[in-house]
Amino acid sequence: MKKSQKPVLRFHEDGHFRILMVSDMHGKPDFNPKMQKGFEALIEKTRPDFIMLGGDQLCNITPRLLKTFLETVMKPAHDRNIPWAHVFGNHDPEEVMTKEESERVYERFPLCLSSRGPKSISGIPNYCIPVLAHGSDDPRYHIWGMDSFSSPADYLAQWGRKEPFQNYYLRHGFGSGHPNCSTMFNQNIWYYQESLRREKKAGHKIPGLMFMHVPPVEFMLVGENPEQMNMVGNKRESPATSELNSGIFLACLERGDVRGIFCGHDHLNDFQAEYLGITLAYDGAIGYDMSAHDDMRGGRIIDIYENGEMFTRMIHLIDLLGKDAMRDPDYFEGGCKYFIRKFD
């Protein structure tokens, strides 16, 4: 199917459009089948119009196995003809396959709306998908997908620096202690200019949502100021944000169109808050083959409206499936420290 033949996103007659975000599948050929069962339960419960995969879909999978994995995992969406897109996480570019190779696999799926961004900027999937008005082809909302990276070494490579990245890895007082890397500055410039171009074409500013895997540093402020920022949800680990401030939050603030920034990456955080008018929200992990807590595993719903409004909340698998959402303690080598029992 050619790109021009792919589905078009459009608001319903009542002005509503629903997005389901799921992150951190950490897929492998023998992935825990509970993940797909949980994914299908989320889709059945929430009835989304569009699904965003928030990164770390896979771990060390070849292009052939990636295709098989996505065919299997995304079957609940394909069976219901639900369009979807993705961003990459820090685990997606593994040794056996580059992001460029992975992107070609994703884009071959007829319902996948992701696209490779301009080759003049960093990253692979950098894109903007419009959600059109119910009664016209006017864009009423934008869905921005931004590629994020793995570690400060990616920044150094971008700058042509030869020093060990540890020389630039200076821990924040309340950071996670793990090196991470969000967007590159040239991506921020691309978003800013593309947003401005689309505003001029439409004749008005178009509200949007931004998705990336590794959160910008502003997410750390939420954990340190939960009451002031009206935080709701769980914070069970220090936010694993980029140590360097890429400037993407300030670019969104300056443009004034992005209503929320949504990230994965932290398996034990699913909080949301508002900072300077922009919602900052984690999507809790959905996978069963890495560290996660049974009572937090799930997906995030984002409801948008033609009038620009946006509301979001987490849906937890344990509330949908009860005991069936809990991991078999013999399945994952991490043992009991990675999940919480709510049933005796």
In this predicted model, what pLDDT tens digit does every residue of 290-343 receive, in sequence order?
878 888 899 999 999 999 999 999 999 999 999 888 876 555 444 455 555 555
Q: Give residue-wise pLDDT tens across range 6-60.
A: 999 999 999 999 999 999 888 777 888 899 999 999 999 999 999 999 988 887 6
The total domain count for the chain is: 1
Query: What confidence tens digit (pLDDT) does each residue in 134-144 have?
Result: 999 999 999 99
Calculate the CA 310 to chain-centre distance: 17
Letter for the amino acid at 136?
S
Which of the residue ranges 72-76, 163-167, 337-341 would you say has the lowest mean pLDDT? Answer: 337-341
* 340 belongs to a structural domain: no
Say if 337 falls within a structural domain.
Answer: no
**Is 334 part of any domain?**
no
User: What local confidence, expressed as pLDDT, does residue 342 receive?
Assistant: 54
Q: How far is CA 37 from CA 31, 34, 70, 201, 289, in A?
A: 12, 5, 14, 43, 14
Q: Per the domain annotation, does 5 fall within a domain?
A: no
- Domain extent, residue 36, equals 10-329
Tell me what the mean pLDDT of segment 243-253 comes to: 89
Instruction: For residues 131 and 142, give the distance between their C-alpha atoms in angstroms, rounded to a whole number.
Output: 6
Residue 339 lies in a domain: no
Residues 304, 50: Cα–Cα separation, whole Å: 11
Q: Is residue 335 part of a domain?
A: no
> Which CATH number goes with the domain that contains 292?
3.60.21.10
Contact of 267 with 242, CB cutoff 8 Å: no
Is the alpha carbon torsion for 35, 40, 44, 49 positive or negative?
Answer: positive
pTM above 0.85, yes or no: yes
